[in-house]
Amino acid sequence: MTPRLRAEGITLGYDHTPIIDGLDLEVIPGAITVIVGANASGKSTLLKGLSRLIKPDAGQVTLDGRNIAALPGKKVATVVGLLPQQPVAPDGITVADLVGRGRYPHQGWFRQWSSTGDEIVAAAMVATNTHELAARRLEDLSGGQRQRVWIAMALAQDPEILLLDEPTTFLDVTHQIEVLDLLLERNREHGTTVVMVLHDLNLAARYADHLVVMRAGKIVATGAPADTLTAEIVRCAFDLEARIVPDPVCGAPMVVPIGRFHGRAADTDPAPVDPAPSTRSRVQQQV
């Protein structure tokens, strides 16, 4: 399949200070693409550029070959949806109301709802297991529930390409897995293209079909996680010495950082610094 959404030599930034400079990216249809990179490497900025939240200073983002900035906003919104990192909601809004607002791009000036719209909203709520919460207020929910509601809203928008900025931040590990499984399920069952920024490299490697590794506004590696997540690339992108082992659950590459205190001399791939045993035990006790 030819990519629908692509970035062509885009330069993105705030106040004319480029954060991303001349970047090319093709979003692979039907796949889960995960963007990883150190803080301030331009991951979120790239996502905002792809969803036309920031206008490129140079280059363009195209949807089916046409410049996304020139297309009508509502029309783009039926194809590309973005869930920002920290969305805000008005006080007192109920789950059903919030999820329903995802239908906005499909609504006319006067018709606020339709039975098909209701079915799509209901399906989104069932898929995210939020239908039992329909009458609850958003502010009364736990962090994990709230994130599922936001994802339900993004699903109600029913975009073919769903962009998510760190959907698992602020969640404990159980809810992280829950959210990622949910997105994987959506991808596999509906063919929704998913592009998301994740901080956890191991979860990124596990859930990504396609990994994009960024550093300082540039893509340093891209491809299947097994080919992309090598010790050398982790060192290059994160300035981190790490060993890569297969994830015992699914075989995806797993990044095991070494750090200053934990390398063992007997290992085949020794850490650069191995402190005295006494230091190490003290550190371990602290941990």
Least distance from another protein to the Cβ atom of residue 57, Å: 11
Do residues 247 and 253 touch, judged by C-beta distance below 8 A? yes
- Comparison of 74 and 235: residue with beta carbon closer to another protein: 74
d(CA 40, CA 42): 5
Q: What is the C-alpha separation between 9 and 30, in angstroms, rounded?
A: 23
The footprint of another protein on residues 161-180 (CB under 8 A) is: none
Contact letters (x/-) for another protein, 33-52, by CB under 8 A? ---------------x--xx
Helix, strand, or coil (residue 164): strand
By CB under 8 A, residue 83 contacts another protein: yes
CA dist 181 and 110 (Å) reads 37
Q: Which is nearer to another protein, 103 or 215 (CB)?
A: 103
DSSP state of 166: S
Contact between 64 and another protein by CB under 8 A: the answer reads: no
Q: Does 57 bind another protein (CB under 8 A)?
A: no
CA separation for the pair 132, 179 (Å, rounded):
17
Cβ-contact 35, 195 below 8 angstroms: yes
Q: How far is the CB of 97 from another protein (least distance, A)?
A: 6
Task: Using the rule CB under 8 A, give the single segment among 91-99, 218-226, 232-240, 244-252 that binds another protein.
Answer: 91-99
Whole-number minimum distance, CB 153 to another protein, in Å?
Answer: 8
| Sites for another protein among residues 180-199 (CB under 8 A) | 188-191
How many other CB atoms are there within 10 angstroms of residue 286's CB atom? 7
Question: C-beta of 235: minimal distance to another protein in Å?
Answer: 33
Q: Does 258 bind another protein (CB under 8 A)?
A: no
Among 2, 17, 72, 277, binds another protein (CB under 8 A): 72
Using the rule CB under 8 A, is 27 a contact of another protein? no
CB of 113 to another protein, least distance (A): 7
Which has the closest alpha carbon to 209: 183, 243, 236? 183
**222 forms part of the interface with another protein (CB under 8 A):** no
Per DSSP, the residues of 207-268 read H-SEEEEEETTEEEEEE-HHHH--HHHHHHHH---EEEEE-TTT--EEEEE-TTT---TTSS
What is the pairing mode between strands 161-165 and 80-83? parallel
Residue 82 makes contact with another protein by CB under 8 A = yes
269 binds another protein (CB under 8 A): no
Measured CA to CA, the distance from residue 246 to residue 228 in angstroms comes to: 13
Residues that bind another protein (CB under 8 A): 14-15, 30, 48, 51-53, 72-78, 80-84, 87-94, 96-98, 100-102, 104-105, 107, 109, 112-113, 115, 118-119, 121-123, 125-127, 131, 134-135, 137-138, 157, 188-191
